[in-house]
A and B are shown apart, each in its own frame.
Chain A
């Protein structure tokens, strides 16, 4: 929590002013019954001579009303400023911090967690700060202030408050404490209803194919009933709040009347004082309920705060080591005994890989799912740091490059074809901010995307929806390839990025990449041997280890795993061979 409180520092003034003025407002509220008592006991008691006193009392009430409102306005304004400023700054820093996360940290924290932290949790914190500033001081002041005032009015009669306030507090807090976890249970039930619904929508074809409509209705009914039961249960408890507090407050009023009657009879109290006492009783209830709500809100905010702080304090970024020039600079990439074990994994995902890649080479990497292909190439742009061995680019350890310099040498087409909201152009410019239209079109052409972009209204300026939803899977994939080509980097990595393309397009794409004018070193990951058979060298991975390195022909002869993969894809060819 400490660190988050630091975000209130720039708003010191607001944090002090807001509760202070709330406090003043509460004081004015508390004084009102005294003024009324004055009107009754002094003004009315004097009869006709009391008129000036009554007018004076009225004047004071009006002044209190105005000053009270002004105090409240000041308080609300500064509370809003502090709360909104706090959350805006916090969100900015959170986003900025998350941007610095490497793949490792992203994996550790998790995408949905990061999104919830920066949206829902920060919003919760904002209203937590706001309400705390506004109510945390006001409500207790009113509750205890009312009691103190009651004592100044008449100590004996005020004993009623000493009995009623703890009882009221007990009822209010018991009900709140009991219902809060129950409401969480209701939310869980609702999640279940939602999940059954979602499931039915995503699986509608399978459900209808299997004729499961009736049994699905049953499933839903069960979840729905459960939710209904839980709702009624917690609703039944909350329904007690108003009646119980009403009984307590009115019991208080009855006690006040009783003791008032006795005390006035013996001349220990005045009529006006009795009126004032009943007024204070009424004020307490409203504030106590508000106070209980605030406490719950603050509790929630603290829980959110802890979560947010965890993300903020997660270390971000990777260490850089001393410049090193030990390697062979004619090699674009060299892997020396490289291995990678992901955090929390016992077994390495990649281990003991040795590979030397001269500039301009096309490297194929093949292997079944989970054999470590992506893990291996993620080491080159340093998305992950190798946990054993060294990765060299142009003869230098990747850890010795400034991260931006290294990444600028590499263009990658990720497995998942992701585009961002904007236009085709804005997406392509990710590859290279300074690229001109001719470069963009050339990249599109090489990526086999020229035709459909030309056909799109607006061409390069055609809009791209969030996640590129307005393009088909194959189109998205080709656009991500074009985006990488725009960079004209020394090293081009295609991570299984033609899976959504048919063979013809895939073949044309490979041809285009072979004839790129800047002759990059190319890494192609694929499950299809046909995509790789023209590569200069193919690395065959099995369970994270290299089981074969060579050309297509060599591997067919020497590598059993490769031959199996090949045969499985070209069964007919294999049979005849």
Chain B
């Protein structure tokens, strides 16, 4: 996973995305270079000052003060450079985050449902949130650390070489050791951390499963077994966590050790040079010592940065993968706006499948007149929602065509097609907003009276009234604490408000108790009056009174006709009817 996507095309693309920030980026790099230069120059000045502070009575105080003033100026300039650089880097990073997220979100709106249906919400959210964060952090922070690190190393070496090549040699000789130690530790740490996070993920999954379903565990008295399993993973986690924690904590002491070796080496060779009378001063020695002190720090940083950059690229690749997904075919430029819909729907030779290997619907023909009622029935999980997906154009047909008012749905705008349908799905969906906003989603310009009327028609008005803030009560994510039934009623109110010419009702009342459902049915009946409606139905009365019944099995439509015709065929519907509703039939026979 780490190395996947580590290719130049990802990198090129990142650079292209960064082009708006090019001036800022260049400025940031210049400032970084300036900061490094001044940071390196300051010890040099300090050394000069120390050389002036030789011995009793021999101190050139005005000269020392002059150098001190220079240090002061340098410090102020360096501080300003650093600050501006930090601010610029923040702007770039946060700006990139904002842009990437916005692009990704807008991309989501254009992705086909086939993509969204086949990817979990968590996965997409993690790409948009975690990956974007890691990518920008890793890339920009990593890059600026890398850049200053390299500059510091080379700057230090150059200054050392200029002042005293001999001592510089000592430093250069120890450098490989520093690199080796840092990369050795970071490599080992990486694999151990990976092991640790894998084990941790395993444990979290187990915790999640067992605690979420704690009541089932209790019901079956499996507490001890659960504990046993948990302890096994916990022990393993403890072991690899110890190793990962210890190894990762080695970096500092070990590089500090190398650093101290360099320091001692510089002190020795420097001091020998001073007494050797080769024109090397105590001040210069102190300069070298302070360089030696900061010299190995960039090595630690750089070795960390490389893995971080790699990780950032992998994150970017994952994000780009999503950004590159083919989008839905846009509305045709001459697409018609569907208006004055009466409810004529024709399906002609429609074929459809989710996967190329397995075709689901073939040669489906259906002609629906305004006001007709189409019931879709079949056993659990037979793919009744496929038909809805096609009617709403969530998916496009593979062959044949679907026409509304005689026009192929692919020749009308999606918005106008979807606005002609009112839809209540089994999976209720409410947003974290007020009750009013949730109902008015279908018609943002609706007046208060209209909203209340819709709520009344859906028999949810009195419930809303009893909420703490009535219509202004803010619901939690996906309805928060509302019961499934209450959520469904709100969704029904939403459709009641817009009242489009055609309806799709998918098991709309499955979670509402039957007496409440009966009341809603009356409203539904009213709503369906004169409106073409497709109903995924379980209720006997709905099915029997439908103009056309589509019987589905294993994702295919196997029979089609009205109740009487289908019964007389003595096919699957006949079987279904008598097994499913035998209780009801006996009841009505009595």
Contact = CB atoms under 8 A, between A and B. Distances in A.
Given A253-B71, A257-B53, A208 B394 contact: yes
A576 B216 contact: no
A26 B418 CA distance: 71
Contacts of B83: 239-240, 242-243
Given A370-B483, A573-B590, 17 more contacts: A65-B261, A72-B252, A76-B250, A80-B242, A80-B246, A81-B246, A96-B227, A206-B429, A208-B392, A242-B86, A265-B59, A282-B293, A466-B208, A500-B380, A566-B587, A570-B587, A571-B540
A44 B337 CA distance: 93
Nearest to A57: B267
5 contacts: A224-B102, A247-B79, A267-B57, A272-B282, A570-B584
Contacts of A242: 82-83, 86
B68 A254 contact: yes
Interface in B258-306: 260-261, 263-264, 267-268, 271-272, 274-275, 282, 285-286, 289-290, 293
Contacts of A39: 267, 271
Contact of A95 (B227, B516, B584): B227
- The interface size bin for chain A is 35 or more
Contacts of A64: 260
B75 A247 contact: yes
Contacts of A199: 431-432, 477-478
B209 A467 contact: yes
Top 10 A-B pairs ranked by shortest CB distance? A239-B86, A503-B580, A72-B253, A368-B513, A65-B260, A573-B588, A267-B56, A61-B264, A88-B238, A243-B79
A467 B211 CA distance: 12
Q: Helix, strand, loop or mixed for chain A's interface?
A: helix
A483 B220 CA distance: 10
- Greatest chain A CB density within 10 A among B55, B267, B444 is at B267
B454 interface: no
Contact of B215 (A47, A247, A383, A504): A383
Interface stretch (A111-119, A145-153, A453-461): A111-119
A370 to B, nearest CB: 7
Contact of A381 (B52, B219, B516): B219
A235 B220 contact: no
B529 interface: no
A87 B50 CA distance: 51
A76 B380 contact: no
A418 B216 contact: yes
A529 to B, nearest CB: 8
Interface stretch (B1-9, B124-132, B346-354): B124-132
A329 interface: no
A499 B116 CA distance: 27
B76 interface: yes
Interface string B575-590: 0100111111001101
Q: State the majority secondary structure of interface residues on B.
A: helix
B254 A69 contact: yes
Interface string A417-459: 0101100000000110000000000000000000000000000
A195 interface: yes
A393 B354 CA distance: 52
Contact of A504 (B263, B516, B579): B579
A535 interface: no
A197 B129 contact: yes
A5 interface: no
Interface in A377-391: 381, 383
A80 B249 contact: yes
A221 B102 contact: yes
Interface string B493-519: 000000000000000001111111110
B158 interface: no
B381 interface: yes
Contact of A260 (B53, B101, B423, B516): B53
A407 to B, nearest CB: 5
B105 A220 contact: yes
Given A85-B238, A130-B245, A235-B90, A208 B517 contact: no
Interface in A487-544: 487, 499-505, 507, 527-528, 530, 533
Nearest to A95: B230
A199 B105 CA distance: 12
Contact of A134 (B52, B113, B249): B249
A381 B65 CA distance: 87
B271 A243 contact: no
Contact of B125 (A83, A198, A278): A198
Contact of B231 (A92, A211, A466, A527): A92
Given A48-B275, A119-B207, A88 B234 contact: yes
Contacts of B87: 235-236, 239
B485 A84 contact: no
Nearest to B378: A502
Given A36-B289, A383-B215, A530-B583, A224 B209 contact: no
Contact of B61 (A208, A220, A262): A262
Contacts of B257: 65-66, 68-69
B282 A275 contact: yes
A40 interface: yes
A170 B375 CA distance: 74
B121 interface: yes
Contacts of B95: 228
